[in-house]
Structure 1
């Protein structure tokens, strides 16, 4: 995951639905076209974050997992 991002939503250690809620709050502070990095440790985020991004009309640019941390890059529409 080498892409630049403008803000981070740190949801490590949080259980569902907190990763989505924290991402949503942080994304509201960004302008269209800016990119949010979401970091989570909850395995449920593998389906929750991509679904949330799609449902809200934002673009999931990338997702990865390393050392139990799931990372998602989302471009605000």
Structure 2
């Protein structure tokens, strides 16, 4: 799907826990209802990012894997 992305977090090449920490920092930069994309290469992000979204009341709209990295689309709650 296409979303209007308000912020993109590049966590490619970062190891756990950096993708989640960067995601947490990034979500504070946008307003409720806005969309953030997180791109990561760490395989741990496949469980960490969805768990973080659920625990923090943000909505994981999409989680995909493409071209050797993982992409998460999150709407701030």
**How far off is 1:5 after superposition?**
1.0
Q: Is the 8 A contact 2:3 2:35 kept in 1?
A: no
Q: Partner residue of 1:51?
A: 51
Number of equivalences: 77
Q: Partner residue of 1:69?
A: 69
**Following the alignment from structure 1 to structure 2, what is the Cα–Cα distance between the partners of residues 42 and 4?**
25
- Structure 1 stretches lacking a partner, 5+ long: none
- Structure 2 stretches lacking a partner, 5+ long: none
**What TM-score results when the alignment is normalised by the length of structure 2?**
0.96
**What TM-score results when the alignment is normalised by the length of structure 1?**
0.96
